[in-house]
Structure 1
Amino acid sequence: MSTPTVWDVVHHAAREDQRVVFIGSDLNPTILSGMRTELPGQFFMEGIQEQNVIGMAAGMALEGARPVVSTISTFLTRRCFEQILIDIALHELPVVLLGTGPGVAYHHFGPTHCAVDDLALLRTVPGLTLLSPKSMAEAAALTDQAVRAGVFAYLRVPRYEPAPIAADLEPPVLGRAVRIRDGHDATIVALGSLTPNALVAAEALAAEGLSVAVEHVHTVRPLDPDLIARVSQSPVVVTVEEHLRDGGLGTELLHHLADAACGTGRMPRFLRLGLETRFVSGYGTWEDAIAEAGLDTAGIATAVRTVTRPLEIPAADTAAVAAPATVAPATVALKGSPR
């Protein structure tokens, strides 16, 4: 049995509910070709006019439809930001946005097609659920939940299929993170596509005697409150994401932990791993871009190994330093950034 895709889910949902319509912008003509034949009144494939399809979806939603809109992530988010904000969010409409080629999936097309700032942009949109699944199967399940519930959501559609992990054994639940490995020295909180890399890194560190937990996250917003509670107890937290290190999962989690620390004074040492805030350079494969950003297995392991080292405290300042649970994060000479 083949793995269901987000396109299978949309077709099935449209077959069951005539309110569900699909609006694409300059996508591969084979996408949802079956739906186009079977349900022509619920299928619309427009040209290169991304802003128009957002307005089109908003108008349909105002008349009771449940639109699903899809195009390349960079154009769906950067080019359509105002339309998403004003046409959809302002009116609290049930529109699901499917961004294809997220992160550095289209690195071979260069910086114009690298959607490494999509979450940072959309975190400012009121009421928008942000989803970044690991695999197509996970994306399909989350799309199904969002469409059926009438959620206003943006979902990054994975382009590559990673190796299976333990989290795949249970159906994903929108808004819920999954702890896939226990550990007490540090916790890696990985977003979607980079969870497999984080898990392999944690297993390699275990061979060195370092006990590292791994949390798999597919919902950036709303962020799972149970996840926040779990990682707040970890001495070290490292976030890993296929996104700019500013404005994505790491920033979202850090804000929540800082708010929680106001009442307790307890804050983990925190390191965000992601891409530098600059245009993605060159052209190449997904693996090339991930390795260059230090987000491959070796890069993640090096970062965790470094940030978990004991702090070097000058003797004269020893009395002024608080307990390890309340110290400021270490400065780490890596491609990630301490808070």
Structure 2
Amino acid sequence: MDSMRDRFARTVTELLDQDPRVALVLAEITRDRVEEAERRHPDRVINVGIREQLLVGAGAGLALTGMRPVVHTFAGFLVERPFEQVKLDFGHQGAGGVLVSAGGSYDWPAGGFTHMAPGDVALLDTLDGWTVHVPGHADEAEALLRHAVAAGDDKVYVRLSEQANRDGLGVDGTRMLTVREGRGGVVIAVGPMLDNVLAAVEGLDVTVLYATTVRPFDGEALRRAAGDGPDVVIVEPYLAGTSTAAANEALQSVPHRVLGLGVGRRELRRYGDMAEHLRAHGLDPASLRARITDFLPSRMPAA
């Protein structure tokens, strides 16, 4: 199966071929996977070197000339390090573009904390007007990237990860999907967390919603699934609690409880591998089941 990053490289190459407005701006990362695109479109594939502030600024500058820039590097170097440029060059100037990250929260633990970005979506939440896509499969990554590039001059963030679900679903860039229905609460699985969530809630009487577009937050889908007195668990592949405020706002007219599960704030200083980081943050199926059933004790499987 393709990785999301490999699919991104192929898809952005096709988009460069198809749309003369599209430009790709890189900071060395993934350059080896877009060599053909660089050969065919040397004027629209721009590698600025390891200069992440310039990466974002150049992307915004292209947008101001009428181009549709796709700006790409690891999440920590795309959102956190050049955050001032994201805030001012895109936000303050009213420029649109597509930021596409790789590396996620813990995809390459050997790279250390500099290559981890669990706070990226929470950081973008401090800004206005960003659409955020979190695909869980390479097919979804392609669909959401195409949706983002076609989205006029909007500001869009697409968060890619090495962690992926077994199957891709038919995502549309706006709404949550209902994967299964139950009567005893709602569990929202974000992007690559779906397979672990489904394994964790097997036999539990809960609804599972699948979110690959988390901003804007699909409050209507949550209200429909939750009913009049909901308990909601949100399982996200980044900082725990990132979307709890959005869920609380969606459910403000009814009594409810919300539990946010995700990456903890404590830095893990032993590199390990991705599976070990999932377990350490309580995001593996066994840990998720324990935490969900503790929050929803009446939703244990029937005898």
What TM-score, normalized by structure 1, do the two folds share? 0.82
Question: Could you tell me which of 131, 156, 161 is aligned with 2:159?
Answer: 156
Q: Look up the equivalent residue of 1:97 and give its one-letter code.
A: L
3-state DSSP class of the match of 2:43? helix
Using the TM superposition, give the Cα deviation of residue 10 of structure 1 relative to its aligned residue in structure 2, in angstroms: 1.4
Using the TM superposition, give the Cα deviation of residue 178 of structure 1 relative to its aligned residue in structure 2, in angstroms: 0.5
Question: Could you tell me which of 211, 215, 219 is aligned with 2:209?
Answer: 215
Query: Aligned equivalents of 1:65 and 1:224: distance in 2?
Result: 29
Confirm whether residue 76 of structure 1 aligns to residue 78 of structure 2: yes
* Alignment gaps of 5+ in structure 1: 311-339
**Alpha carbons 2:244, 2:258 under 8 Å: kept:** no
Q: Look up the equivalent residue of 1:236 and give its one-letter code.
A: D
Closer/same/farther in 2, CA of residues 221 and 291 from structure 1, 3 Å limit: same
3-state DSSP class of the match of 2:277? helix
1:328 paired residue number: none
Q: Look up the equivalent residue of 1:58 and give its one-letter code.
A: A
* Alignment gaps of 5+ in structure 2: 299-303
Confirm whether residue 41 of structure 1 aligns to residue 36 of structure 2: no
Using the TM superposition, give the Cα deviation of residue 185 of structure 1 relative to its aligned residue in structure 2, in angstroms: 1.1
Question: Could you tell me which of 14, 18, 26 is aligned with 1:12?
Answer: 14
Moved more, 225-234 or 143-152: 225-234
Query: Aligned equivalents of 2:238 and 2:88: distance in 1?
Result: 25
Q: Look up the equivalent residue of 2:136 and give its one-letter code.
A: K
Question: Could you tell me which of 255, 264, 282 is aligned with 2:270?
Answer: 282
Query: Aligned equivalents of 2:279 and 2:186: distance in 1?
Result: 21
Question: Could you tell me which of 234, 245, 252 is aligned with 1:251?
Answer: 245
Query: Aligned equivalents of 1:39 and 1:57: distance in 2?
Result: 16
1:124 paired residue number: 126
2:185 paired residue number: 186
**Alpha carbons 2:219, 2:247 under 8 Å: kept:** no
**Alpha carbons 1:201, 1:298 under 8 Å: kept:** yes
Query: Aligned equivalents of 2:243 and 2:212: distance in 1?
Result: 10
**Alpha carbons 1:191, 1:249 under 8 Å: kept:** no
Query: Aligned equivalents of 1:114 and 1:160: distance in 2?
Result: 14
Using the TM superposition, give the Cα deviation of residue 2 of structure 1 relative to its aligned residue in structure 2, in angstroms: 6.8
Confirm whether residue 198 of structure 1 aligns to residue 192 of structure 2: no
Query: Aligned equivalents of 1:235 and 1:254: distance in 2?
Result: 11
Question: Could you tell me which of 203, 227, 231 is aligned with 1:236?
Answer: 231
3-state DSSP class of the match of 1:271? strand
Q: Look up the equivalent residue of 1:301 and give its one-letter code.
A: R
**TM alignment of 1:86-97, pairs within 5 A:** 86-97=88-99
3-state DSSP class of the match of 2:276? helix
Query: Aligned equivalents of 2:244 and 2:133: distance in 1?
Result: 14
1:27 paired residue number: 29
**Alpha carbons 1:220, 1:252 under 8 Å: kept:** no
Rg (Cα) greater in structure: 1
Query: Aligned equivalents of 1:297 and 1:41: distance in 2?
Result: 47
3-state DSSP class of the match of 2:33? coil
2:301 paired residue number: none
Query: Aligned equivalents of 1:77 and 1:279: distance in 2?
Result: 19
CA shift digits 1:219-273 (9 cap, x unpaired) = 1110113223124426321111111113x2233323332xx32xxxx22222111
Using the TM superposition, give the Cα deviation of residue 169 of structure 1 relative to its aligned residue in structure 2, in angstroms: 4.5
1:294 paired residue number: 282
Ranges of 4+ aligned residues in structure 1 off by more than 6 Å: 1-4
Identity of aligned residues (%): 31
Moved more, 182-191 or 105-114: 105-114
Using the TM superposition, give the Cα deviation of residue 49 of structure 1 relative to its aligned residue in structure 2, in angstroms: 0.2
CA shift digits 1:73-116 (9 cap, x unpaired) = 01111111110111011222221001111111122222221110
Using the TM superposition, give the Cα deviation of residue 63 of structure 1 relative to its aligned residue in structure 2, in angstroms: 0.8
2:138 paired residue number: 136
**Alpha carbons 1:134, 1:193 under 8 Å: kept:** yes
What TM-score, normalized by structure 2, do the two folds share? 0.91
For these two proteins, the number of residue pairs brought into alignment is 294
Moved more, 224-233 or 10-19: 224-233
1:335 paired residue number: none
Moved more, 3-12 or 56-65: 3-12
